[in-house]
Amino acid sequence: MEALKISSIPSLQIPSKFDKAQSKKLTSFCFNSIPSSSFSLVQRNISTFKIFTTTSSSVSTEPANPPELEVENRTQQEKFDWYAQWYPLMPVCDLDKRVPHAKKVLGIDVVVWWDRNESAWKVFDDSCPHRLAPLSEGRIDQWGRLQCVYHGWCFNGSGDCKFIPQAPADGPPIHTSKKACVAAYPSTVQNGIVWFWPNSDPQYKDVLAEKKPPYIPELDDPSYSGLMGNREIPYGYEVLIENLMDPAHVPYAHYGIMRTNQPKEKADREGGRPLELSVQKLDINGFIAKQEWGRSKFLPPCVFYASPLDPVDQGNGAVSSAGTKKVSSAQRRALLIFICIPVSPGNSRLIWTFPRNFGVWIDKIVPRWMFHVGQNLILDSDLYLLHVEERKIMDAGPNQWQKACFVPTKSDALVVGFRKWLIKYAGGQVDWRGKFSGALPPTPPREQLLDRYWSHVVSCSSCSAAHKGLRVLEVVLQVVSFSLVGIVAATKQAALSVAARTTLVAMAILSFAASKWLAHFIYKQFHFHDYNHALR
Q: Dump pLDDT digits (tens) for 460-481.
A: 999 999 999 999 999 999 999 9
Domain ranges of the chain: 87-210, 217-310+332-445, 464-535
Of 34-48, 92-106, 402-416, 522-536, the range with the lowest mean pLDDT is 34-48
Q: Is the pLDDT of residue 311 over 50?
A: no
* 370-382 pLDDT tens trace: 999 999 999 999 9
Name the band, by pLDDT with cuts 50, 70 and 90, for residue 67.
low
pTM: 0.83
| pLDDT band, very low/low/confident/very high, at 191 (cuts 50, 70, 90) | very high
For residue 291, the model assigns a pLDDT of: 79
pLDDT attached to residue 44: 36
What is the C-alpha to C-alpha distance for residues 183 and 185, in angstroms, rounded to an integer? 7
Over residues 167-179, mean pLDDT: 91
d(CA 62, CA 41): 39
Q: What pLDDT does 41 receive? A: 31
* Domain 87-210 belongs in CATH node 2.102.10.10: yes
Q: β-strand 347-353 against 146-147: which pairing, if any? A: unpaired
pLDDT score recorded for residue 194: 97
4 has a pLDDT exceeding 60: no
The strand pair at 154-155 and 347-353 is best described as: unpaired
* CB atoms closer than 10 angstroms to residue 316: 12
- 288 sits in which H/E element: strand 286-291
Model confidence over 255-304: pLDDT tens digits? 988 887 787 888 888 888 888 899 988 999 999 998 777 788 899 999 88
Across the range 429-434, mean pLDDT stands at: 93
State the pLDDT at residue 437: 87
Average pLDDT over the chain, rounded to an integer: 83
Report pLDDT digits (tens) over 412-422: 999 999 999 99
419, 521, 404: which is closest to 467 by C-alpha?
521
Phi, then psi, of 342 in degrees rounded to 5: -70, 120
Rg, C-alpha atoms of the chain = 26
Q: What is the mean pLDDT of residues 399-416?
A: 90
The mean per-residue pLDDT over the stretch 344-371 comes to: 93
Handedness of CA 187, 245, 298, 462 (dihedral sign): negative
Helix (H, G, I), strand (E, B) or coil at 127: coil
Mean pLDDT of 104-111: 98
What is the CATH architecture of 217-310+332-445?
Alpha-Beta Complex (3.90)
User: What's residue 10's pLDDT?
Assistant: 32
- pLDDT score of 77: 56
pLDDT at 46 > cutoff 50: no
Ramachandran class of 56: left when φ > 0, alpha when ψ lies in -120 to 50, beta otherwise: beta
Instruction: Between 332 and 235, name the one with better pLDDT.
Output: 235
> What proportions of the chain, in percent to the nearest 5, are helix, strand and coil?
35, 20, 50
CA distance 31 to 376: 8
pLDDT the model gives residue 314: 39
Residue-level pLDDT at 65: 57
User: Average pLDDT of 490-516?
Assistant: 89
